[in-house]
Copies of this chain bind each other. A is one copy, B any other.
Amino acid sequence: MVPKGYLFSTVDAAIKKAGRKDLALIFSQREATVSGMFTTNTVKSAPVKLDMEKIRSRRAQAIVVNSGNANACTGEKGMQDAREIVRLVAGGLMVNSSLVYICSTGVIGVPLPMNRIRPEISKLTRGIGKSTLEDVAKAIMTTDTFPKIATRKMKIGKTTGIVTGICKGAGMICPLMATMLCFIMTDIAVEQKTLDRTLRGAINSSFNSITVDGDRSTNDTVLIMANGMLANKHITEQSTSYHLFKKALHDITRELSRMIVKDGEGASKLVEIQVRGAKSEADARKAAYAVANSNLFKTSIYGNDINWGRIMAALGYSGITLKEERIDISFGKIPIVKKGTGTGRESKAREILKQQEFIIVIDLNIGKASAKVLTCDLTEDYVKINASYKT
């Protein structure tokens, strides 16, 4: 389901290799209000740097995205290339280049093959409307194994608004965003500050609560465009329909972030780590991430091995306040650790470990704060994929 007023185009620019669409364009017929969040990595790609400037205007009409090359660590040349693509796309679409955003994902440190990209851009802009949203979701994939789309409808008065998001990401996924691009579109008119705040909240409990491998990328970007084609009265935090919009955005980002972990490089299982009873939310998150990022924990999940000692060890080095003798851990509903020692119910819990998705609950029993983090197992395939990504 696509919100009103958004059109798409994709072409094959042979950026990494020929034979698949790797350059995509999202175009809104009307100038939209835009909000964005970008990687917290100090080393930022050229497109991220450019978009962080652009977004001050809070206005957008198009996003051009390439896969196969991150345009990161490419110096001044990288900035020039990104600006040139934006200029060419803006020219083709006949919109102001300040309204055209750019995103890249792929290998770091290699200049964009401008000689192959440049000639494809007029085809890209001329082709607007000839591709589907799914074509775009596919064109932005790198090591992803499936396109990621989530959508929600909501009633506003007598009309029905749509919020739809796509994203890509499978490796370099970690706290504070990931090698992850996410584009959300809606035809609902939303007041700019409301859009900002709601996006931040949604990202925090979705993309900022997942991990695949603990590595944070240089290119992470989330952009949401609200073009107001529905002609509703701008939604603000005071609007009666605000809670519906907020829920839609939270649902979509959570659904998409779940897909990312599920598609984690080489991953075979999805695990939600819930930490409860922590002294503070920061402690709960730290503890959950220490477990979620532990290679030893992740390999034992892969091996159907209830090696709960690795969870205890990760909690112990996470740097949080804890009392070993108060810790309870359960796999699904099976208590595995009570007051810091094993319950001997491993064989029961092994059944849970064999499932593709399950929850591990860690209760520190020393406070009231909690946090959740989604992670996946670490498999031989992760190593295979990443040992040969570039070459």
Contacts and interface: CB of A to CB of B under 8 A. Distances in A.
A52 interface: no
Given A43-B324, A313-B216, A383 B391 contact: no
B108 A307 contact: yes
Contacts of A172: 296, 313
A72 interface: yes
Contact of A300 (B302, B382, B389): B389
B215 A299 contact: no
Given A307-B389, A316-B42, A317-B40, A325 B383 contact: no
A386 interface: yes
B72 A295 contact: no
B324 A387 contact: no
A278 B325 CA distance: 41
Interface string A371-391: 000000011101110111111
Contacts of A315: 42-43
Nearest to A323: B42
A131 interface: no
Nearest to A266: B383
A294 B217 CA distance: 12
A386 B73 CA distance: 35
A314 interface: yes
Chain A, interface size: which category? 35 or more
Given A43-B324, A75-B325, A305-B390, A108 B313 contact: yes
Contacts of A77: 341
Contacts of A383: 299, 302, 378-380, 382-383
A129 interface: no
Quickly give the copy total for this chain: 2
Interface in A66-106: 70, 72-75, 77-78
Interface in A210-260: 213-218
A387 B216 contact: no
Contacts of A294: 214-215
A340 B74 CA distance: 8
Interface string A307-330: 111101111110000101100000
A296 B390 contact: no
B307 A107 contact: yes
Contacts of A107: 307, 309
A63 interface: no
5 contacts: A42-B322, A109-B342, A172-B296, A300-B387, A304-B391
Given A109-B307, A109-B308, A380-B383, 20 more contacts: A40-B317, A41-B317, A42-B322, A42-B324, A43-B322, A70-B309, A74-B341, A75-B325, A108-B313, A109-B337, A172-B296, A213-B295, A213-B296, A215-B317, A295-B378, A295-B382, A300-B387, A303-B386, A307-B389, A380-B384
